[in-house]
Amino acid sequence: MWIVPEAAIDGLLSPDDAFAAVEQVFAAMARTEAYNFPVVREGLGEGRQYGFKSGLDRAGGQLGVKAGGYFPGNAARGLINHQSTVFLFDPDTGVVQAAVGGNLLTALRTAAASAVSIAHLARRDARVLGMIGAGHQSAFQMRAAARQRDFDRVVGWNLHPEMLPRLADTAADLGLPFEAVSLDALGAQADVIISITSSDAPSLMDAHVRPGTHIACMGTDTVGKQELDPRVLARAAVFTDEVAQAVTLGECQHAVAQGLLAERDITPLGAVIDGAHPGRGSDDAITVFDGTGVGLQDIAVAARAVELARAKGLAVEVAL
């Protein structure tokens, strides 16, 4: 089997590599050629969370699992709190093929998912990118989004303003002007909004969102988290990576529970990628992508990482 250590991932996979891998597997999911298995997530006590995201991609010939979670005590030990590893198996024999560091890959695949949604759902003439959230994921999100439209500036809001320099620095790196704004101003100016927070109550309210906006709602990946006013979902065209996850642990969980959105009205983004669904209906439509994060995304980028690491001599082969 091959081992691709976490340290080898940095600089190995470009945002374009991650985009291509995620776009392909979303399309395979919509054709039911790829399946995610039910997510396992367990509390270990003292705030520690551990779980598995897994799936089978018949089209891509991949079977795998991401194991990992959130370990809040890590920071004091000089480790990052989110820890994960992706294991790949031969889908015909079950023989393990690779173990791949999953921490940076998670950020790349999550950013790729919202970038794929922007590529397929945002208005072509989108010029202003709005960022809600300024945590670890936000910089990856902004970098990947900037490749999809000809944005000329970024506006951002974060509950904790001391974190905003991360957005300003990332925008500067991309050569884009950045302005910290209120949520009112963000909604009034942004053509594309990425929301990536760990909030458990909505930040972006119905009155903030104007026609024509595309919202990539990326932070809600657990029961109880929430970023968006459910009334936005009621008047938007709603897309997701995986409908079963969207209605249980994604942003859609709240609108569905309140009877504002029906499961049948949520479209897999893969159907748009495949051309089976037209996506955005008009320039005035509001589109929402509920990115819940699926195991097949992890498996797709991990498989690409193994290919690239082997080609560059960065993968270590060990006998089973």
Q: Where along the sequence are the contacts to ligand NAD (CB under 6 A)?
A: 106, 110, 133-138, 158-160, 163, 196-199, 203, 218-219, 221, 225, 291-293
Phi, psi of 75 (to 5 degrees): -55, -40
Smallest distance from ligand NAD to CB 104, Å: 12
For residue 1, the surrounding DSSP H or E stretch is: none
Smallest distance from ligand NAD to CB 286, Å: 20
Nearer CB in complex with ligand NAD: 128/196: 196
Smallest distance from ligand NAD to CB 227, Å: 7
Q: How many CB atoms lie within 10 A of CB 163?
A: 15
Tokens representing 210? 């104007």
Smallest distance from ligand NAD to CB 82, Å: 7
Nearer CB in complex with ligand NAD: 138/267: 138
Nearer CB in complex with ligand NAD: 24/106: 106
Q: How many CB atoms lie within 10 A of CB 173?
A: 12
For residue 299, the surrounding DSSP H or E stretch is: helix 295-311
127/99 Cα distance (integer angstroms): 40
Nearer CB in complex with ligand NAD: 15/291: 291
Tokens representing 75? 């920071």
The tokens 């909505």 sit on which residue? 202
Nearer CB in complex with ligand NAD: 163/244: 163
Which of 53, 66, 225, 312 is catalytic? The answer is 66
DSSP symbols for 13-79: S-HHHHHHHHHHHHHHHHTTSEEEPPPEEEEEETTEEEEEEEEEETTTTEEEEEEEEE-GGGGGGTS
**Under a CB-based contact definition with an 8 Å cutoff, are residues 289 and 270 in contact?**
no
- Catalytic status, residue 66: yes
Q: Spell out the residues 6+ positions from residue 56 whose beta carbon is closer than 8 angstroms to its own.
A: 34, 35, 37, 62, 63, 91
34/77 Cα distance (integer angstroms): 38
Output the CA torsion sign for 228, 223, 135, 299.
Answer: negative
Nearer CB in complex with ligand NAD: 204/314: 204
Smallest distance from ligand NAD to CB 287, Å: 17
Nearer CB in complex with ligand NAD: 117/292: 292
DSSP symbols for 217-256: E-S--STT-EEE-HHHHHHSEEEES-HHHHHHTSTHHHHH
Q: Which residue in the shown chain puts its C-beta closest to ligand NAD?
A: 135
Give the residue numbers marked as catalytic: 66
